[in-house]
Amino acid sequence: MMAADRTDDDCEQLLARVARGERAALGELFAAEAGRLIAIARRIVRRREVAEEIVQDAFVAVWRSAGRFDPARGPGRAWLTTIVRNRALNAVRDGARLDFADEEQLALFSDRRGDAHAAYEALAEGDALRRCLSTLEPRRRESILLAYVLGCTHGEIAARLDAPVGTVKAWIRRGVIALQECLS
Q: What integer is the mean pLDDT of 150-165?
A: 84
Confidence of residue 87 (pLDDT cuts 50, 70, 90): very high
Whether the predicted pLDDT of 34 surpasses 90: yes
Confidence of residue 103 (pLDDT cuts 50, 70, 90): low
- Residue burial 45-61, b: 16+ Cβ < 10 Å; e: rest: beeeebbebbbeebbee
Q: What is the dihedral of CA 3, 9, 14, 19, to 10 degrees?
A: 160
Inter-residue contact 44 to 88 (CB < 8 Å) = yes
The pTM for the full model equals: 0.51
Q: Which residue has the higher pLDDT, 124 or 58?
A: 58
Please report the pLDDT score of residue 119 as a whole number: 75
Inter-residue contact 25 to 76 (CB < 8 Å) = no
Whether the predicted pLDDT of 50 surpasses 50: yes
| CB within 8 Å of 174: residues ≥ 6 apart | 140
Whether the predicted pLDDT of 96 surpasses 60: no
DSSP for 55-94 reads HHHHHHHHHHHGGG--GGGS-HHHHHHHHHHHHHHHHHHH
- Residue burial 83-116, b: 16+ Cβ < 10 Å; e: rest: bbbebbeebeeeeeeeeeeeeeeeeebeebbeeb
Whether the predicted pLDDT of 155 surpasses 60: yes
Q: How far apart are CA 94 and CA 75, in angstroms?
A: 29
Whether the predicted pLDDT of 165 surpasses 70: yes
Whether the predicted pLDDT of 1 surpasses 80: no
Cα angle at 49 between 46 and 54, to 5 degrees? Answer: 85
**Percent of the chain with pLDDT strictly greater than 90:** 40
Please report the pLDDT score of residue 97 as a whole number: 42
Confidence of residue 6 (pLDDT cuts 50, 70, 90): low
22-36, 47-61, 139-153, 167-181: range with lowest mean pLDDT: 139-153
Please report the pLDDT score of residue 45 as a whole number: 86
Q: How far apart are CA 129 and CA 127, in angstroms?
A: 5
